[in-house]
Amino acid sequence: YEVSHDELTQIRRDFPLGDYPLRTEEGEFSLAEYEAFTAQHAAEIDAHTRRREQAFDDELARWHADGQFHYEAPEVEVSDDTLVIGDDDIVVDSSVAGSVWQLNVAEGDTVEAGQCVMLLESMKMEVAVLASQPGRVKTVVVKAGGRVSAGQPLLILEGESDQ
């Protein structure tokens, strides 16, 4: 089953919200057929395995040579400012540790439920941060390029009843 780039983008947007149904298929597995296939292609499989292991070893050597093997993430900047969160305010927090790649909203903007308010980068992956409810952006807590930790508040929304 192949998925286009657009479909994958949609799945990545919908799945965290529980809006993507998992697909299951009935099927049969024959151990005898599998073993016959692997025996028939043993030389190709072994050659591929050796190439893959050599590529892994080469990459590990590069990591040691350029210092990536002992990588330490930069510290998350912690603000001395105290966040003022009202009873009806909605805190949008980070689901991952990473960095703020792109801010899509500014203070005063109105957002809809499910709207992407910012993109985080974590382990070379783009993570969309979505508004869980409609509201107005009261405070943007982070800056583009800033480091964030999982659970850290990113922005505060005033609920629709506050507008």
- Report the pLDDT averaged over residues 117-135: 92
Secondary structure class of 116 (helix, strand, coil): strand
Fold of 89-162: OB fold (Dihydrolipoamide Acetyltransferase, E2P) (2.40.50)
List pLDDT tens digits, range 28-85: 999 999 999 999 999 999 999 999 999 999 999 998 888 777 766 666 565 556 777 8
- Report the pLDDT averaged over residues 91-119: 94
Strand arrangement, sheet containing 110-111: 89-93, 153-159, 135-140, 110-111
Residue ranges of domains in the chain: 89-162
DSSP per-residue string spanning 35-81: HHHHHHTHHHHHHHHHHHHHHHHHHHHHHHHTT-TT--PPPPP--SS
The CA–CA distances, whole Å, from 43 to 50, 119, 138 equal 11, 45, 63
